[in-house]
Amino acid sequence: MSIALLFAGCAGSLTPGEDDTADVRMEAPPDLVLTALTNVLTEQGYDVKRGDSDRSLRTGFREQSGLFWDSLLNSRLGVGRSRVEALVAPDGDAGSRVTVMVRHEGKKWMWEPWRQAKPPVQDSAVNQIRLLRNELRALDVQFISESSPNSSPNRSAIR
């Protein structure tokens, strides 16, 4: 009986979400930023492709492992998936403006349709910017705008 209550408590409702975006300015050339962002997303398991323009990237949904036990857990506890779109534009002489948008979808049960949900912190747009900053070894990132449900809205810089 207690195990059934534990599983029922773990399979709570999904938190409705919207696209998680972050728009920042970095002191690095656009080509270098685009290469670093491609590396960051590839290391996380995304299949990265060029978007509509030379300065944009798109990913598909990240591959989930297909082990038998994973499917049993997902069917009971739910699963989430996310994809990323990014645009890198020149900003000034040596700077870049980077816009990252993360769309996260989730479902509670195996047979339920995918629904847009709040991304977990590790998949958020702010975390993608943090990983990009670490890849570039940049000291300062200036936030232009941000609509991340996982962080405070009054951030002006990540240090």
* Class (C level, CATH) for 19-152: alpha beta
- Structure pTM? 0.74
Show Cβ contacts of residue 6 under 8 Å, excluding neighbours closer than 6 positions: none
User: What are the residue boundaries of the structural domains of the chain, listed by start?
Assistant: 19-152
Do the Cβ atoms of 18 and 10 come closer than 8 Å? no
Over the range 126-144, which residues count as b (16 or more CB within 10 Å of their CB) and which as e? bbbbebbbebbebeebebe
Residue-wise pLDDT tens for the chain (159 aa)? 444 333 333 333 344 557 899 999 999 999 999 999 999 999 998 999 998 888 999 998 876 555 666 666 666 666 788 999 999 999 888 899 999 999 988 887 777 888 888 888 888 999 999 999 999 987 677 788 766 555 544 444 444
